[in-house]
A and B are shown apart, each in its own frame.
Chain A
Amino acid sequence: MDDILNEIKAMDLKASWLGDWEFEVLTPKDRLASTLSYLKLKGFKAFMGLSCVDWIEDGTFELVYIIQSYDLALEAIVKTKIPRQKPVIESMRSLWGLCEVYEREMHEFFGIEFVGNPNLKPFFLENWLDTPPLRKDFDTLAFSEELFEFKEDETHGIKPPKRIE
């Protein structure tokens, strides 16, 4: 099992075990496609998901690709960082068709542009015009107060709950 990890390390990428059946690979943005296709050739054929972390203090978005190998019974978590100001990355839909849907979701909730994905139209949100809502600098409380107008109601005596910081 350590063979794969050693091979990845030999490619000058950071890789480490997270548990008995799971390891992570940190890759720069321009080597993401080659890393993922290498892992796919090694047996990680199942694409489980794509998610994103907003590291607002570092000014980066971290994209997290989760792929699994049924033959090796292993999970690989491939992480890459892209700048927050201009979040553009190439689409992985040529490797896994399912990526198209996940990329559409990340485009909607974080505003990341996936070059090569023709299907980045609105997905879950209806008529969304503000900044993407899962970015850390999006003020959900101000948005909620403005749009849904939560004010103390004299007839019901409902008070807004206190926000937990």
Chain B
Amino acid sequence: MSEWNEIVDYFRGRSMWMLHYCTGCGAIELPPTMTSRWDMERFGITPMATPRQADILLITGYLAIKTLKRVVYTYEQMQAPKWVLGFGSCTINGGIYWDSYNVIERLDKYIPVDIYIAGCMPRPEAILDAFVKLKEMVQKGEAKGYEKYVKNYEWYKANQDRVLKRTEPVLKRIEKVTKIG
């Protein structure tokens, strides 16, 4: 069975459909990546229109609380095997919005991220590099973010609910803690 998985993983890495979730300014780096200058189709990666048919979820840039909800919907609609690429410093630590009231930090608290692309903005070369890296990881069977999500679903769900389903003011929570302490 493991040999069969190896063969399957090899072919998975050679045909990947990408759904790009363009929330932030990172979307502007994708047209040159897709079109003739850098042409990511050379690596067997093409944009896909719907989440149900896509393998890669590319999240370009910051996520507000409102868009995080949509990203979680989108991610859960995708069929396994699925991989997430976090694009730009906003998905890593909030980027320039790190102290904002409305933008999340650390995307991998809410959905599992297989590869982060650092930079603000990452160049198309960096995106292609991430695709090649992901392809290698998939073919070796290392990119298992979707299994991590199923195994630790409660942890991810608790983090999502903490942000999305608030029942009391956040800053009051701090006051309570400091008063008790």
**A interface vs B, CB < 8 Å?**
124-127, 129-131, 133, 138-144, 146-150, 153, 156, 158, 160-161, 163
Contacts and interface: CB of A to CB of B under 8 A. Distances in A.
A131 B94 CA distance: 22
A9 B175 CA distance: 50
B102 A158 contact: no
Given A141-B99, A144-B100, A144-B101, A130 B163 contact: no
Nearest to A130: B169
B94 A143 contact: no
Contacts of B101: 133, 138, 140, 143-144
Contact of B165 (A127, A131, A139, A144): A127
Contacts of B69: 126
B98 A144 contact: yes
Interface size on B, as a range, is: 20 to 34
B170 A129 contact: yes
Contacts of B105: 144, 148, 150
Nearest to A148: B105
Nearest to A161: B98
Given A140-B100, A147-B166, A148-B106, 10 more contacts: A127-B65, A127-B165, A129-B166, A129-B170, A130-B171, A139-B171, A140-B99, A140-B101, A148-B94, A160-B98
Residue in A126, A130, A150 whose Cβ sees the most chain B Cβ within 10 Å: A126
Given A141-B99, A144-B98, A147-B162, A126 B106 contact: no
Interface string B60-78: 0000011001000000000
7 contacts: A127-B166, A131-B169, A146-B171, A148-B163, A150-B98, A156-B92, A160-B93
